[in-house]
């Protein structure tokens, strides 16, 4: 299924989890700007050094830096058949930049009640090795602190501490939410109810797959 898809939604709504499952099902690459930035920070690259203070504070990394990173990634051969873009665009300026170099076929707008989002973010654990995510209550690993997939160490991201979570949710409301109306106006937005917990994740995935199929038919 060839499709350029964007996953939109608040931090903690489940974009990464859904994108990983959709990527396995469709074969489209999952491109997470958060994962790419965290990797750059770990590796201490020039981009990582510039991005670190923003990421640690829960603020957005400047548009130009992220857009350049995304443009390079989307020009790779594996994106020719499409992609699942998770975490970008996050501002209207980024959305306009993206329009300049890539057409988007569908925007999956994931939403869930705020209480669910805060609970998901505070219990989330991430693998240092492969970036797989777990939840201490809702989807724990088989062995505490150890990734099921690659045996990597699980940790709590520094931007998942309560004060930084609050800042990220504020940033989302102010800077990212306007994208919902931006893309609705273009007729490519699909509203996805992502309020279902882990055992029912297939209900969220099913809605995403239907929206992608509808967009493919529209092409």
Residues that bind ligand AMP in the complex, under the rule CB under 6 A: 11, 33-34, 37, 54-55, 58-61, 66, 87-88, 90, 94, 159, 168
d(CA 125, CA 106): 29
Looking at the Cβ atoms of 59 and 161, the one nearer to ligand AMP is: 59
Q: CA distances (Å), 78 to each of 84, 102, 163, in order?
A: 12, 15, 38
Q: Report, in Å, the least distance between residue 130 CB and ligand AMP.
A: 15
Q: Say whether 49 is catalytic.
A: no
In a 3-state reduction of DSSP, which class is residue 6?
strand
Q: Which residue is nearest to ligand AMP (CB)?
A: 34
The phi-psi region of residue 44 (left if phi > 0; otherwise alpha if psi is between -120 and 50; otherwise beta) is left
Q: Say whether 217 is catalytic.
A: no
Q: Report, in Å, the least distance between residue 173 CB and ligand AMP.
A: 13
Looking at the Cβ atoms of 1 and 54, the one nearer to ligand AMP is: 54
d(CA 155, CA 205): 26
d(CA 89, CA 197): 26
Helix H or strand E segment including 190:
strand 189-193
Q: Say whether 124 is catalytic.
A: yes
Looking at the Cβ atoms of 61 and 188, the one nearer to ligand AMP is: 61
Q: Say whether 174 is catalytic.
A: no
Q: Say whether 125 is catalytic.
A: no
Q: Report, in Å, the least distance between residue 197 CB and ligand AMP.
A: 20
Which residues form the catalytic set? Answer: 15, 90, 124, 157, 168
């Amino acid at each position: 299924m060839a499709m350029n898809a964007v996953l939109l939604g608040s931090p903690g709504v489940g974009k990464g989890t859904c994108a990983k499952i959709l990527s396995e099902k469709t074969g489209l690459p999952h491109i997470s700007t958060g994962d790419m930035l965290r990797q750059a920070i770990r590796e201490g690259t020039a981009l990582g050094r510039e991005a670190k203070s923003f990421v640690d504070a829960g603020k957005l990394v400047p548009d130009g830096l992220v857009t350049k990173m995304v443009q390079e990634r989307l020009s790779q051969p594996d994106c020719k058949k499409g992609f699942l873009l998770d975490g970008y665009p996050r501002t209207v300026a980024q959305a306009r930049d993206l329009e300049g170099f890539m057409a988007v076929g569908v925007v999956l707008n994931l939403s869930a009640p705020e209480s669910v989002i805060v609970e998901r973010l505070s219990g989330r654990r991430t693998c240092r090795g492969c970036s797989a995510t777990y939840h201490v209550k809702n989807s724990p690993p088989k062995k505490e602190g150890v990734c099921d997939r690659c045996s990597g160490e699980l940790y709590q991201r520094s931007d998942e501490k309560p004060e930084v979570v609050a800042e990220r949710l504020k940033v989302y409301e102010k800077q990212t939410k306007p994208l919902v109306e931006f893309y609705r106006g273009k007729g490519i937005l699909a509203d996805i109810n992502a309020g279902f917990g882990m055992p029912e994740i297939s209900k969220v995935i099913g809605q995403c797959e239907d929206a992608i199929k509808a967009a493919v038919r529209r092409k």
